[in-house]
Each structure stands twice: as structure tokens, then as C-alpha cells.
Amino acid sequence: MTVERLRIFDTTLRDGEQAPGFSMRIDEKLQLARQLDALGVDIIEAGFPIASKDDAESVRQVAQEIKRPVIAGLARCRPADIECAGEAVKGADRGRIHTFLATSDLHLEHKLHMSRAQCREAAVDGVKRAREYTDNVQFSAEDALRTDLDFLCEVVEATIAAGATTINLPDTVGYSTPDEIFDFFKTVIDRVPNADQAVFSAHCHDDLGLAVANSLAALQAGVRQVECTINGIGERAGNASLEEIVMATRVRPDRLPLETDIDTKAIYAASQLLSALTGEPVQANKAIVGRNAFAHEAGIHQDGMLKDRRTYEIMKPEDVGVQTTLVLGKHSGRHAVQNRCQELGYSLSRQALDQIYVAMIRLADAQKSVGDDDLVAVIEKVQAEQGQPA
């Protein structure tokens, strides 16, 4: 099976940072950009320079300091936007201008007050103007999934001819389903005559909880760049989660034979840094990086895990920078309690273990979970009652 290269376009510093509660100062953006560099992402979208002086300055500083990945600045298909983005990324070893314009009739009529012909012209002009600053130009057709397919193919063909090297067709409002997005990308790639001259990209939002599923479907249709964020943050319900997409390719190469340069052992550190910088915690059951992602409390699961981790884990937690956790709670079994007692250095008789187990369950009913300090207190109390040294 041929394994192809997948480019990871991280937009945590742009789309992610636009979400309420996730804004970052310039120094914080630089700190996260360094972590993204260590993680191994291919492209860092560092911001939207025209949005504010601080945004332009953060893009400029990231472009000057972070040298391995491509550094992208976002711009509408407007001369002032493109000039601002061009100036912001000019210090990068590999700079990219990411220019965009809505193409759906809904956006053209109600937001932009623009005809299809005007849209096509503005998109081409935007790409040509961006090419004056860099030969690495990405064009995004905002609201692509709700755009008339014939018109969209027309715009894509024209922007590639104008010099766009990456074509992003976003599901801007998270409206699509996986089967639909697969058919969509396959049709566009097959119909656009110069499609082989550009890399196609997917940017999916999570309004229906389908961003990652839609992104993976797009990859199966021929997309070779995926736009994503750490912890899946972003506008409204967020973007496709970087960690979920990357680990899907690692766990299921039979279905997704794609390689990335991501150092998966740095995933958890990136997730934790983002939470620390923004003050926004990751939900407990979040895949890959949530505190319960590799935690096991049910007795049957804990017993299986102690015998062979593969019974209940499809990936090694240390591969993403975390450790397996057997949580002691009211659902835990004796095997898990015995194992944790042994790890804490206690060798117990069957009678003592039974008493400790009953006491632990009683405590868990009262306080949900039992930590090591709690368990040690229970052990020492039981030993004292039996006349054993603590």
C-alpha cells in the first residue's frame, strides 16, 4: 500500500484564537508557536494581520523566530489585507499568504453584495496580488460546501491558473456529513482540469460534531492538507482536532495510509500549554488529551488492562505523552485495588485486602474517587486494626 504525505495546517493561533475566551497576547502566541514547531506541524497560521496591530505584530514575530514550518497570514481578497499579510510574513523563511473569499450565493447576496462574476474576478485578483509577495499562496472558498458546484469548480480552476498552490474548500458552518464531503472533494478534484497543480485542503467545523469525521472523509477523497487546531478549539463549536486526526492516521493506517511529521509524544504537552495560556480546561472525556481518555475505573476494564492493555486501549497513552490511569472508584474491582496497593509498596493478606477493598468502595461512594493518599490512609487504618505495623 502506498503511503502518502499529509500536511498538517495548524490554525490554533488564528481560527482557534478567534473563539470567545481563547484570545492570547503576543508573548503567549509565540510560546504556543514554539510548541507547535516542536510538535512538527507543517504550517502555522499565525493570525489575521489586518484584524489589529497586535495580530499583525504577532504574525511578524512568529515569522521571524519560527523557521522550520511555513508561517501563514490570513487575508481577504482585498489589496489592504494582502499587503498587510505580505508585510507580516516577509521575515519568514517560508511564508504563505492565505487569501479567502466567500463563494456561496447565500454569502454573495446577503453578506458581500457581489455577483458571481465579481466574486470570480476578486478571487483571481487576490491570488495574483498575493503572488507578488510569495509563491506560496493558498486560496479558500469560504462556505464552499454550500456553493453551486459548477461555479465553485470555475473559481477553483481560475485561482489555480492565477497561481494558487493550495486550494482550501472549507465546511465553514459545519453543515456537511462524511459521505457528502467525500463526494464533494472527489467531484471537484476530478472535474477541475488543473487540479493536479495544487494541494487540496479541508477545513471542517464542528457544529454537528462531525469535523474530524468529515476531515477524514476528505482525506479519503484525495485531500492532502488538513486544517485543524489543538484541542479542537475555534469558532462556535470549534475546528477539527489536530490530535484526533493525527492519531487516526497512526491507529488506522489500513484505512488512512498517510504519514505526518507530527511527534505524537508532544501532543499532550501542546494541549496542556494551550489550556494553561487560555485558562480553558479540556473536557474530561475529550479524545486523546482529556483526563479520562486513558483512565479506567470499571472493574472488568481494569482487570483486562492489568492482563493485557490491548483489551481496552487501541493506542499506547505514552505515545501521546500521557500515562494510563486506573482510577479507583466505586466501580473498581479487587484486582485493581490489589495492584495499586502493591505499586504503593504494600504486601497484603487476602483478609486485609478484602477489608481495604470494602473500605475503599465505601469511601468512593462518598467522594467519587480515591487518590493515593486516601488509599494509604485506608491501608494503614486496616493494618492498625489488625495489629500490623504501618
The mean per-residue pLDDT over the stretch 197-223 comes to 98
Closest to 201 in 3D by CA, of 39, 210, 18, 214? 214
Nearest-5° Cα angle at 199, 193 to 200:
80
The model's confidence at residue 333, banded by pLDDT at 50, 70 and 90, is: confident
Q: Which three cell numbers stand for residue 229?
A: 487546531
The mean per-residue pLDDT over the stretch 54-81 comes to 98
Distance CA 101, CA 153 (A): 14
Return the pLDDT at 267: 96
Q: Which three cell numbers stand for residue 230?
A: 489543538
Q: Which three cell numbers stand for residue 160?
A: 489555480
Q: Which three cell numbers stand for residue 23?
A: 484570545
Return the pLDDT at 184: 98
How many CB atoms sit inside 10 A of residue 172's CB? 23
Helices 267-278 + 26-39 axis angle, to 10: 170
Per-residue CA distances from 120 to 11, 111, 171, 179, 308 (Å): 26, 16, 19, 28, 58
Return the pLDDT at 148: 98
Distance CA 76, CA 304 (A): 54
Whether 383 shows a pLDDT value over 60: the answer reads: yes
Return the pLDDT at 231: 97
Q: Which residue has the higher pLDDT, 364 or 74?
A: 74
pLDDT tens for each residue of 225-269: 999 999 999 999 999 999 999 999 999 999 999 999 999 999 999
Give the DSSP per-residue string, 282-314: PPTT-TTTSTTTTEE-SHHHHHHHHH-GGGT-S
Q: Which residue has the higher pLDDT, 338 or 94?
A: 94
Q: Which three cell numbers stand for residue 303?
A: 482487570
How many CB atoms sit inside 10 A of residue 175's CB? 17
Whether 341 shows a pLDDT value over 90: the answer reads: no
Whether 329 shows a pLDDT value over 90: the answer reads: no
The model's pTM: 0.85
The model's confidence at residue 12, banded by pLDDT at 50, 70 and 90, is: very high
The model's confidence at residue 306, banded by pLDDT at 50, 70 and 90, is: low
For the purposes of burial, counting CB atoms within 10 Å of the CB of 293, is it exposed (0-12), middle (13-18) or buried (19 or more)? buried
Helices 116-130 + 79-89 axis angle, to 10: 30
Contact 144, 155 (CB under 8 A): no
The model's confidence at residue 335, banded by pLDDT at 50, 70 and 90, is: confident
Phi and psi at residue 94, to the nearest 5°: -135, 95
The model's confidence at residue 161, banded by pLDDT at 50, 70 and 90, is: very high
What contacts 353, CB < 8 A, 6 or more positions away? 334, 337, 338, 341
The mean per-residue pLDDT over the stretch 42-70 comes to 97
Query: Which of 40-44, 103-107, 382-386 shows the lowest per-residue confidence on average (mean pLDDT)?
Result: 382-386
Mean per-residue pLDDT of the chain: 92
Return the pLDDT at 388: 61
The mean per-residue pLDDT over the stretch 125-149 comes to 98
Whether 79 shows a pLDDT value over 90: the answer reads: yes
All domains of the chain in start order, with CATH = 4-278 (3.20.20.70), 295-385 (no CATH)
For residue 145, give the 3-state DSSP assignment: helix
Whether 297 shows a pLDDT value over 60: the answer reads: no
The amino acid present at 384, given as its one-letter code, is: A
The mean per-residue pLDDT over the stretch 180-186 comes to 98
For residue 206, give the 3-state DSSP assignment: coil
Return the pLDDT at 312: 67
How many CB atoms sit inside 10 A of residue 125's CB? 17
Return the pLDDT at 316: 86
